[in-house]
């Protein structure tokens, strides 16, 4: 988790946040160094962020502004926001 100024857009912090993800523990085989995919809302729909994720081998699942509804990502987002509420 990272801390930024209150008026900083979330998309500016995504790259440092992805870099700070620790190795994923697994029962078998080597530890994975990154997640398979990243789910995000329309606030993260920028070509440079998609490019950065693809270069790291992470599939971006980001709702596109003006094209897609964010409701497709809702089932994953609800789990995350529910966890924060606890």
* Residues spanned by the domain of 70: 6-84
Instruction: Please list the pLDDT of the chain residue by residue as tens digits (86 residues).
Output: 567 777 777 778 888 888 887 777 777 777 666 778 888 878 888 899 999 999 988 899 887 877 766 555 555 555 556 666 66
In a domain, 1, yes or no: no
Task: Give every CB contact of residue 64 below 8 A, 6+ residues apart in sequence.
Answer: 42, 45
In a domain, 80, yes or no: yes
Judge contact between 13 and 4, C-beta under 8 A.
yes
In a domain, 12, yes or no: yes
In a domain, 34, yes or no: yes
In a domain, 20, yes or no: yes
In a domain, 39, yes or no: yes
In a domain, 44, yes or no: yes
Name the domain count of the chain.
Answer: 1
Strands (E), 1-86: 37-40, 59-62
In a domain, 55, yes or no: yes
């Amino acid at each position: 988790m990272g801390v930024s100024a209150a008026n900083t857009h979330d998309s500016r912090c995504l790259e440092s946040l992805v870099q700070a993800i620790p190795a994923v523990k697994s029962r078998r085989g080597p530890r994975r160094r990154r997640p398979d995919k990243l789910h995000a809302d329309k606030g993260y729909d920028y070509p440079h962020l998609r490019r950065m994720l693809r270069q790291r081998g992470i599939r971006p699942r980001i709702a596109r502004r003006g094209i897609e509804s964010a409701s497709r990502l809702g089932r994953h987002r609800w789990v995350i926001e529910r966890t924060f509420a606890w």
